[in-house]
């Protein structure tokens, strides 16, 4: 199984490429949703990495995939600006998904 990156900036993509992770750079919500739909269809991809900004633009689609599909796993990664804490993102996801605030 491979990783696949959906990023909103070239810097993150270049860093991941150095680690052997392929991916795309997208900017608009339509591009992000299309890239995510394509990644979810790839049989050899086990984990889809998405930057925070990309997830924020298509949050409903990401949540739908997380709740209704077992594979591939979607993981939000901080981008070069690191605008939020991952623990806050996980708490928000749980709150939205099951209605429990941690």
Beta strands 45-51 and 22-25 are unpaired
Q: Give backbone dihedrals phi and psi of 50, rounded to 5 degrees, phi first.
A: -130, 140
Query: What pLDDT, in 10s, does the model give residues 17-67?
Result: 998 999 999 999 999 999 999 999 999 999 999 998 999 999 999 999 999
pTM of the full structure? 0.78
Query: What pLDDT, in 10s, does the model give residues 57-99?
Result: 999 999 999 999 989 999 988 876 655 555 565 566 556 666 6
Task: Give the integer Cα–Cα distance in Å for 7 and 14.
Answer: 10
């Amino acid at each position: 199984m491979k990783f696949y990156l959906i990023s909103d900036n070239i810097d993150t993509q270049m860093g991941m490429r150095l680690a052997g992770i392929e991916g795309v750079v997208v900017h608009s919500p339509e591009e992000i949703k299309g890239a995510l739909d394509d990644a979810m269809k790839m049989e050899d991809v086990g984990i889809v990495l998405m930057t925070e900004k990309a997830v924020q633009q298509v949050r409903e689609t990401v949540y739908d995939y997380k709740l209704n599909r077992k594979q591939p796993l979607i993981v939000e990664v901080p981008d070069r600006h690191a605008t939020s804490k991952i623990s806050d993102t996980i708490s928000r996801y749980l709150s939205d998904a099951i209605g429990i605030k941690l």
